Structure 1
Amino acid sequence: MNQPLIDFVRDALLRGVSRADIALALEKGGWSAKEIQAALDAFAETNLPVPVPRKRVSSSPKEAFFFLVMFSTLYTAAFAFGAMLFDLINLTFPQPSETASWRIQSLRFGIAWTVVAFPIFLWMSGLIAREAARNPGQRISPIRRWLTYLTLFVAATAIVGDLIALIVTFLEGDITLRFGLKVAVVAVLAGGTFLHYLRDLRRDEVAPSAAAPGRASVGAKVAFAGLVAAVVAVVAMGVWYAGSPMRARLLAQDRQRVQDMQTIYWRVEQHYRDKGQLPASLAACDISPATFVERKKDRVTGEPYVYRAVDATHFEVGATFALASAPEESARRRYSIGGPESDGFWRHDAGPRMFRIDVARKKR
């Protein structure tokens, strides 16, 4: 803050000049309204005949830690929540060329980040609000103001990028419901954050002492409850789409079984190319490193994988699966580099499943 300006205001108040007259004189001297208000706010309004300086706030390591944690968890929760909404939109309105497997994986990461970051953000916000109620000067803390302006910058950048993407997509004639929902998500998240912190910052700049929080207003309580309810609802929807942890575990086990089936297929096919005939058993493949089958048993149940030669060029491999193939699992296997090339070949139901393979198909 400009020291000559502070000295002038202090001397004027000491001589009994009113704040309005001081502001008018400074305005004629070329000072901005913000500078004038900051200089006047440097002194408390009291009935004493001498000006009483307000306490100047400096950032302590503890305060810096609190604000850094709060704003970093805000960014993390906002981006994770937005990514989770994007994944839900993509899963609800899929493109024909898209597969759901990596969307489900991304959705799980979004759920995890939101569940961790959002409660920490709420907790740190509560701690800072209670501290500001005891010490109103903390609301004009330098680090708080810097991080708030950084948040405004990030939010404004997101809004501008959102509008640019909307205009470009409109000009390309590719406006769809899916795209419109994504634009709305970015606008609501970035716009809500921008307006909240801009209003908070303006209130502090106009009258820092008056901005000290007391009891939360009814509107603030309703907004807080709505925010928490929205996050809980979206997380619950994400869990429903992604499936329970137990289901994810069983799907992962089935995915490993399919990978083992593919490995057996590769080794048996290599044996056929080398020897000109199918092996009588999987043990017969162990004669060469190129055909060695490492996993002949299910690693979960310990049951041996089924292999049998049907005729000179056909064989079957099989396993017992815990669940039926999920749509995203079928899509994942459709584009797998290992295994017969027909779409959905490795699709299976729950229980025993045999896969019949023709090793001579590539020669025809």
Structure 2
Amino acid sequence: MNKNLPRDVFLYFLSIITLVVSAVSFGVLVFQYINIYFPDALVDYYKPASSYFSSIRHSLAFVIVVFPVYVWASRFLRLDIEANPEKRDLKIRKWLLYLTVFVAGLVIIGDLVALLNTFLEGEITSRFILKILTIFFIAGSAFYYYFKELKLDDSKKDWNIWSIRVFPLIVIIVVLTVVVSGFFVAGSPSNRRMERFDERRIQDLSIIQNQIINYWQNKNVLPDNLNELTDEVLGVFVPVDPKTSESYEYFILGPLSFELCSTFETKSNNNIKNNIRVPIIESAILRPRGQNYNWQHDIGRTCFESIIDPDFLRIEKPLPL
């Protein structure tokens, strides 16, 4: 026997670890797709689809890096056994193969119990069925592949058959399809960068809005321009566009109303059908205490109006002693 036991032990451990990480990440990825395209009003009413994007990106990163390592390690071990058939009887290999089959079986049972519990709690049938199919595909694929491998070891048959050659290729194609879909669902890296710029712009506008309200509370009048908000002594500075470094637009609409404008690179997806979980609230409720919490925007220049309610925001000056 060609003795490379340390290498074999390392590769088999690498194979099972990367299999577990890939399977979990793949499952999270598909589950997030299901949550986005089959929203449950009971669970996701106040949760926009974009809240799932971070989890999708993390799972994509794991699958893109770890799954190819698993494929390489598995293929290397298979070719090594084809060249050295006596290695089929390595105890470490037998232990890890049986462990993989055992874990896959436990995963199927555990996930079925968890999903059935959510179904009994009232989850919609389509989400339940799709998640069940996802679990069966992941755990069932691992269980089937390694169980067949153990059966072939017992019969000493040649590995050049469908269950060893074609089936893994089908799994790889499915994984690639799911990974590519992730870039369409969560957006490309360049699109994500534009979204982050827009998120920063919304944060800046919210800060400026609060600065304007504080200015009005102190002076009982709106500032003529944004430069009046700057206070070097207190360290107060007005944010500018993070990409162009230009000032945001500010317009006075009345004694108690003003408008802030900015140019956005993407469209907010908080009110898109099947993506929106937060209802559109009427303006009277939308602006408590004069603050605008509705920052939905289209691509291009968008303005946001704020109306100050003096009954809520006026600061009573202390009476002289």
TM-score band by shorter chain is: 0.7 to 0.9
Instruction: Measure how far apart 1:289 and its partner are.
Output: 6.8
* TM-score normalised to structure 1 length: 0.73
Q: Which moved more, 1:173-182 or 1:260-269?
A: 173-182
Instruction: Measure how far apart 1:159 and its partner are.
Output: 1.2
1:170–1:264: structure 2 CA closer, same or farther, 3 Å change rule? closer
Question: Which residue number corresponds to residue 212 of structure 2?
Answer: 268
Summarize deviations over 1:86-129 as a string: whole Å, max 9, x none.
11111110123132112122112222211212211111111111
Q: Which moved more, 1:128-137 or 1:84-93?
A: 128-137
Kindly name which structure, 1 or 2, has the bigger radius of gyration based on alpha carbons.
Answer: 1
- Asked if structure 2 preserves the Cα contact closer than 8 Å seen for 1:85 and 1:234, the reply is yes
Matched letter for residue 20 of structure 2:
Y
Matched, 1:136 2:85: yes
Measure, in 1, the Cα distance between the counterparts of 2:209 and 2:143: 57
Instruction: Measure how far apart 1:308 and its partner are.
Output: 2.9
Q: Which consecutive residues of structure 1, in runs of 5 or more, have no partner in the other structure?
A: 1-54
Measure, in 1, the Cα distance between the counterparts of 2:80 and 2:72: 12
Question: Which residue number corresponds to residue 303 of structure 1?
Answer: 246
Instruction: Measure how far apart 1:361 and its partner are.
Output: 6.2
Question: Which residue number corresponds to residue 49 of structure 2?
Answer: 100
Instruction: Measure how far apart 1:146 and its partner are.
Output: 2.7
- Asked if structure 2 preserves the Cα contact closer than 8 Å seen for 1:268 and 1:291, the reply is no
Measure, in 2, the Cα distance between the counterparts of 1:289 and 1:150: 66
Question: Which residue number corresponds to residue 324 of structure 1?
Answer: 267
The partner residue of 1:187 within 113, 136, 151 is 136
- Asked if structure 1 preserves the Cα contact closer than 8 Å seen for 2:227 and 2:238, the reply is no
* Percent of aligned positions that are identical: 31
SS at match of 2:254: coil
The partner residue of 1:241 within 174, 185, 195 is 185
Measure, in 2, the Cα distance between the counterparts of 1:302 and 1:271: 23
1:199–1:221: structure 2 CA closer, same or farther, 3 Å change rule? closer
Matched, 1:226 2:175: no
Instruction: Measure how far apart 1:218 and its partner are.
Output: 4.1
Question: Which residue number corresponds to residue 31 of structure 2?
Answer: 86
Matched letter for residue 68 of structure 2:
P
Question: Which residue number corresponds to residue 196 of structure 1?
Answer: 145
Summarize deviations over 1:209-245 as a string: whole Å, max 9, x none.
x25x55x224533313311221122122222111222
Measure, in 1, the Cα distance between the counterparts of 2:298 and 2:122: 42
Q: Which consecutive residues of structure 2, in runs of 5 or more, have no partner in the other structure?
A: 281-285, 314-321
Question: Which residue number corresponds to residue 318 of structure 2?
Answer: none
Matched letter for residue 176 of structure 2:
V
Matched letter for residue 258 of structure 1:
I
Alignment of 1:66-77 (within 5 A): 66-77=11-22
* TM-score normalised to structure 2 length: 0.82
Instruction: Measure how far apart 1:181 and its partner are.
Output: 0.9
1:345–1:133: structure 2 CA closer, same or farther, 3 Å change rule? same
Matched, 1:315 2:264: no
Summarize deviations over 1:333-352 as a string: whole Å, max 9, x none.
989xxx94599721112222
SS at match of 1:76: helix
Measure, in 1, the Cα distance between the counterparts of 2:175 and 2:197: 31
Q: When the two structures are aligned, how many residues end up with a matched partner?
A: 300
Alignment of 1:156-195 (within 5 A): 156-169=105-118, 171-172=120-121, 174=123, 176-195=125-144
- Asked if structure 1 preserves the Cα contact closer than 8 Å seen for 2:115 and 2:131, the reply is no
1:166–1:363: structure 2 CA closer, same or farther, 3 Å change rule? closer
Question: Which residue number corresponds to residue 154 of structure 1?
Answer: 103
Select the structure with the greater relative contact order (CA < 8 A; seq sep ≥ 6).
2
